[in-house]
Structure 1
């Protein structure tokens, strides 16, 4: 079981651990700078709720609400023109890099993508912060891994270290950061990666708490289960939460497709989205930016109902929810506006080109949905309920399904609340939400986005790696090539001399005409009238033909029904030119070599 340790030197251990510590240190500083920079910018632009209250703001507030996202959109539109593919990289790109072993993130693209996301969130676009934070951490890990001699193997681990550091710093939850990196990015739990990722997460957590003295980002007050029947309600939160998550995820996908059909220049789409968002936020300002303040207030809605109104300072819609009191339908309607509106606007902003993630909005959407569910249930049962419990369960149900991280979500809740009963309740909601969404949509929004680009991770990373590697290195030149005017007797003699059973007919321009087999040549001689006809008349194109750029995965699929010695391989540029053949055994060797490489990357050099 631990045989790989024989080939894994102490020096390599020390290098990986040192790399993990440095990644954790730098990623923590960068994450804190990213978050604090956005907090400062949103306050200056009167986007943060706490900045929207005060004397003398009545005249300026509408202008800032509308035009801050527009100005941000203009800046983002210019940045998009500088990005490769005209889109900022996100978690799907980090997942793809980790799963295929291509851990080198282009520095220029990564930096511009981070600036794009920072600008989008800071100027009020309704997008998330945690995806960009994780991408920034991954970029730092990728850069630092290049300093090591073993960057090919350590690069992927460094990506996981960077992501775990960012999540650990953001949530002040190191355990969740470690599991998130493995569950979402690396997708395996080998000790070779687990130890460095853990070191990074805890270095970041120490930096966040001891050096920067940052409080928990989503701190939640004391919550308790009050009735036994509520466990059944938590199950229903998971089921209905799955529908909310599906609405949100499909909205993001559809918005991207619709945006692609708009006949507008790329740079013009973000300002247009900013204008629409700004006008809507005149009525519902909670939609601005990542909405973490609204999420925090909703998770603590029970304390707000008890009179602690500091949580909802500057949040006009949530203030109306609390003020509704006995008017349950009004409160329900307002929470529904927040939940559905955030879903639609996040998809709209991302589809129109703003940089940002889907993680933070999922927290917002899930929390408001959970509070809405609890409020409706409270109206139907005797006594009162703790709405914070339902807000947290709703947040877990929606978020875990969107990001494909049920275990990480449960651990985030447990680390933030240190409440075992709450963790059990969230577990019920998360399990049922993920069962439904995985069946009806996919493992996560990220996986579906990658599938749209042609990369299917539903069967694991093995399939994608096989799709990325071609058969070029396994083509052989040791085959019998004959001209179409070669006689059957001459062809037969060449095959017997080479101890082969198939000959490939190629003209003077190397154009592949077909093949002829040893039994066919013998039959032609027996059926002849004593003459020795040329093989050109016997040539028949092979039903299965590969190119030198055919992937190992596609080659495996094509030869499932193949019967013969070798498969002809033609040029990918000129499909008529024969460049070699590949024996069936070589295709299986290519498959075996690729899978062995995947296992070595995950578990060591055994």
Structure 2
């Protein structure tokens, strides 16, 4: 009997004595509970680290510590990653999507804790990034490894991965519906009605963890203040258009900054110092960029934006309303740079919370400028909240998540109509200019993004290396017809690759093409293989994706194609073996 750890024995017994559906329901509770605890630990670590640093800042009474702390945090994060995790931990939601499509939803075990540790250091020391992407990776790793430990198939393992992510998001925001919708909109490539129940259970359990354990000041909750007025609909539409424009700016500017830092890929500490120094400079000019930014969001929601100026050098000029408005608008633009510098320089975090920060600033800016110009009298609090949904929808390409997240954290659904208007308007505009979200654009450019297409998903799971057939007998181009006949006599194949001394493929010989001449013994010593070979209709490269391979089969009409590594001959791949493998994977990914 295989050796199992004692804590696994009860669940192994349960799996043997229950149906697959019942076991998944129990598993969703355990995954949701563990991911919820991970979210609680992460939020608590960041909260208490920042309390400690705030005490030190008051003790020293030196504002430059707000500049130094983020640099220290990024350097510590890079050091931890280099020393303990071999220089890479795979950041962001895009990494989870890549794992689903390219690695059969098998997430590395260390990601169950590495992202909690590194993101707590980054955000705790004031890095201008969110904790949501790290908790998504953590929850996904918990669900994936649970599925691997109990030998679940690809479909169930992927569902538990999504359950972990849903529980993490739900726990961070105290928003179970948003957690479920995030898993469906962002992570899952295929969803059935049966999958909703485990997702809901995990999200609810994760939410209960945060409600029972976390203190009120750690949770991000905003009380509903204003109500929806039908007369404000045109302004909500305009805010949605503005949110779409800002979202496009956010996506494109973030990608450009990342490209600049890619040249420092091997110089990790130099990258951390340069990025940290630039981030520190931005925070010196705009102190609200320090940390995730939820405190600033609450200030804007309460229409107390002048408080954001208190620690800024602009406070020297007073708190003129237009000055405050300009400062808030600048914060929306600069937050993109601050967040991207934090992540690109080696810190760990995501764009979820920064998107909400930018949205709150955009909503406040829009409503206040309308009010100051006396065009209308708009509720600033509502527009700040709805603006968060607009930018979140545009940057993350998750409008349903955005709508229900803001509805849940505001404790009511009175803003549901404006939330839907702004999110839909923003999303429609962004999709026109940017078909993919910030997190998935690079994956899409590499052809590694799979959403809602089971055929493509299965094709991406399949690898050429597992399909190469090497029992085709090669012949040398200078071999005689007689030598070729001897090879044919001892082969079960009807195709023969012509391979030179350097393992290069020069051509192929089809049995039907030489069937007539092979019986003319008088030509055995005079006719060479080089004279009989033909060029293959196409050749497959070892690193081709399966989609590219199938395209070559369709265009050539062949049933067997040679596989090369550069010019080196490796073997053949057949259409029939691909179909056989496809059927097996289809059964594996759809059946319990």
- The TM-score normalised by the length of structure 1 is 0.83
Q: Which one of 342, 347, 356 corresponds to residue 354 of structure 1?
A: 347
Deviation at 1:430, TM superposition (A): 1.1
Verify the 8 A CA contact 1:552 1:591 in the aligned structure 2.
no
Deviations 1:436-465 (Å, cap 9, x if unpaired)? 222322331111133456623367465355
- Please report how far the alpha carbon of residue 171 of structure 1 lies from its aligned counterpart in structure 2 after TM superposition: 1.2
- How far apart are the structure 2 equivalents of 1:12 and 1:237? 47
Partner in structure 2 of residue 334 of structure 1: 327
Question: Does the Cα contact within 8 Å between 1:220 and 1:299 map onto a contact in 2?
Answer: no
Alignment partner of 1:46 is 2:57: no
1:89–1:110 CA contact under 8 A, matched in 2 = no
What is aligned with 2:591?
604
Post-superposition offset of 1:367: 0.7
Partner residue of 1:537? 531
Is 1:555 equivalent to 2:549 in the alignment?
Answer: yes
**1:489: Cα distance to partner?**
8.8
Summarize deviations over 1:194-235 as a string: whole Å, max 9, x none: 22221111112223224546475131322223452x212212
Q: Specify the alignment match of 1:449 in structure 2.
A: 442
Post-superposition Cα deviations, 1:284-309, rounded to whole Å, max 9, x if no partner, equal 221101011111222332xx48xxx9
Could you give the per-residue CA deviations for residues 311-336 of structure 1, whole angstroms, max 9, x where no partner exists?
x5896569979x85xx5532321111
| Aligned partner of 1:266 among 261, 265, 268 | 268
Structure 1 residues 9 and 240: alpha-carbon distance in aligned structure 2, compared to 1, 3 A threshold = farther
Contact kept in structure 2, 1:79 and 1:112, CA below 8 Å: no
CA drift at 1:121: 0.4
Q: Contact 1:168–1:205 (CA<8 Å) still a contact in 2? A: yes
Q: Give me the whole-angstrom Cα distance separating, in 1, the residues matched to 2:579 and 2:351.
A: 40
The answer for the alignment partner of 1:16 in structure 2 is 24
- Deviation (angstroms), 1:271: 3.7
The alignment status of 1:30 with 2:21, answered yes or no, reads no
Q: Deviations over 1:219-252 (max 9, x none)?
A: 1322223452x21221221222112112222222
Aligned to 2:11: none
Query: Which residue of structure 2 aligns with residue 3 of structure 1?
Result: none
Q: 1: distance between equivalents of 2:379 and 2:301? A: 11
Matched, 1:568 2:559: no
CA distance in 2 between partners of 1:145 and 1:105 (Å): 10
Is the 1:23–1:200 Cα contact (8 Å) retained in structure 2? yes
Q: 1:178 is matched with which residue?
A: 180
Q: Secondary structure at the match of 1:582?
A: strand
| Structure 2 CA distance for partners of 1:315 and 1:44, relative to 1, 3 Å | farther
Instruction: Specify which of 356, 364, 385 is matched with residue 357 of structure 2.
Output: 364
Structure-1 separation of matches of 2:474 and 2:134: 56
Equivalent residue, structure 1, for 2:459: 466
Summarize the Cα distance change of 1:319–1:36 in structure 2 as closer, same or farther, 3 Å threshold: farther
**Deviation readout 1:377-428 (Å, 9 max, x if unpaired):** 2234544210122212211111122222111111112223354441111111
Q: Assess if the C-alpha contact under 8 Å between 2:394 and 2:427 holds in 1.
A: yes
Q: Aligned pair in 2 of structure 1 residues 402, 315: CA closer, same or farther (>3 Å)?
A: farther
Q: Give me the CA root mean square deviation.
A: 3.8
Q: How many residues align?
A: 574
Matches within 5 A, 1:57-456: 60-82=61-83, 83-86=85-88, 89-100=91-102, 102-108=104-110, 110-150=112-152, 153-212=155-214, 214=216, 217-226=220-229, 228=231, 230-262=232-264, 265-301=267-303, 304=304, 312=307, 316=311, 324=319, 328-451=321-444, 455-456=448-449
Alignment partners' CA distance in 2, 1:461 and 1:259: 35
8 Å contact from structure 1 (residues 511, 577) kept in 2: yes
Query: Is the CA contact 1:511–1:578 (under 8 Å) kept in the aligned structure 2?
Result: no
> Does the 8 A contact of 1:165 with 1:177 survive in 2?
yes
Structure 1: state its 5+ residue gaps: 1-6
Residue 138 of structure 1 aligns to a residue whose secondary structure is helix
**Aligned equivalents of 2:93 and 2:327: distance in 1?**
32
What's the CA shift for 1:25? 1.8
- Aligned position for 1:4: none
Give SS of 1:81's match.
helix
CA distance in structure 2 between the aligned counterparts of 1:318 and 1:17, rounded to whole angstroms: 55
Q: 1:363 and 1:373, CA in 2 relative to 1: closer, same or farther beyond 3 A? A: same
1:338-360 deviation line (CA, Å, top 9, x unaligned)? 11111111112211111111111
Q: 1:534 to 1:187 in 2, by over 3 A?
A: closer
Q: Tell me if structure 2 keeps the 8 A contact 1:502–1:565.
A: no
Distance 1:8 1:515, change over 3 A: farther
Q: Distance in 1 between matches of 2:363 and 2:134?
A: 26
Assess if the C-alpha contact under 8 Å between 1:285 and 1:316 holds in 2.
Answer: yes
Q: Could you tell me whether the CA contact under 8 Å between 1:73 and 1:354 is conserved in 2?
A: yes
Q: C-alpha distance in 2, partners of 1:387/1:218? A: 17
